[in-house]
Amino acid sequence: MTTPLLAAGDLRSDFDLSVEELRALMDLAADVKRSPSAYRSALKGRIASLLFEKPSLRTRITFEVGAKQLGGDAILHVGPIGGREPVADVARNLDRWTDLIIARTFAQQTVDDLAQYSRVPVINALSDMFHPCQALADMQTIQEHLGGWQGFHMAFVGDGNNMAHSMMLASARLGLSFTCITPPTYEPNGDILARAQQFAAATGATIRATTDLEDGLRNADAVYTDVWASMGQEHEAAARARLFSPYQVNSELMALASPGALFMHCLPAHRDEEVTEDVIESKTSVVFDQAENRLHAQKALMLMLVDGPAR
């Protein structure tokens, strides 16, 4: 069984996926979920290196389980990437031993450096600028619950962070309108927003940023939030809590969206901070479907980056 390979050879950021490749990946993720046994030997004998500078539950487990379910395996290293030796040397060691490098880092530059020097594919499993693997799972979840992306609207509430960047880029290319609603000065990166708007021009989506909750949530079919202080920003947590408290996703805020709007969160969630208990446990919450789809979307991604089983 063959799958198309990504032209970029890596997933350093969401920009490494063309529109056609993104759609193909979504189709493959759905098939992997529907028929897992068809892929159980697809990467037989292949080994993935997991390099994690940050704590992880979903990302680590889903990549490990996914590699094993595809017939391969994964080896985990927890700690700084580089320091004892240059990142370039890390890459050139790992590509001699393993078939794929999956990195969860503090800095996007680390992912870029790994990809520059590695001869095997590199996957961004989270950096300070992007979280493409989560966005893939989220797009799969939206398709399952709404039936597609075109003509629907997502409101992202909170910090214009790495998650917001990846979601707006994926949304723009699949035709899902996206509004990022943040406190002043916490807007998403302007260059990434502009690129997303360029992609949206071809799909008919509307991509924008605002500080106005009522305006941004109007007609939203899905409401997404994330933690107010990401890993590495813990020293800002108290100040951010004061600024972000009006942006808490609670029942009153959800009432500003369309009736029955989905609630989404990449997890882990700080309950009764960025989201209230009643919202995350509501019948329209799909947070655990998102978590499950990390497995299927990442299996599809590995299939599209690694050229079949070891020979």
Residue 165, token pair as written in the block = 């960047």
Active-site residues, by number, are: 104, 131, 134, 226, 266, 294
Residues 122 and 115: beta-carbon distance below 8 Å: yes
Which helix (H) or strand (E) segment holds residue 167: the answer is: helix 162-174
The dihedrals phi and psi of 184, each to the nearest 5 degrees, come to -55, 140
Point out which residues pair with 156 in neighbouring strands: 180, 224
Residues 273 and 241: beta-carbon distance below 8 Å: yes
| DSSP state at residue 134 | H
DSSP string, 215-238: HHHTT-SEEEE--SS-TT-GGGHH
| Helices and strands counted in the chain (H then E) | 12, 9
98 residue type, one letter:
T
Q: Can you tell me the distance from the alpha carbon of 264 to that of 12, in angstroms, rounded to the nearest whole number?
A: 24
Q: Can you tell me the distance from the alpha carbon of 116 to that of 12, in angstroms, rounded to the nearest whole number?
A: 10
Strand order in the sheet with 153-157: 207-210, 177-181, 153-157, 222-225, 262-265
Where are any strands of DSSP class E within the chain?
47-52, 73-78, 100-104, 122-124, 153-157, 177-181, 207-210, 222-225, 262-265
Residues 35 and 25: beta-carbon distance below 8 Å: no
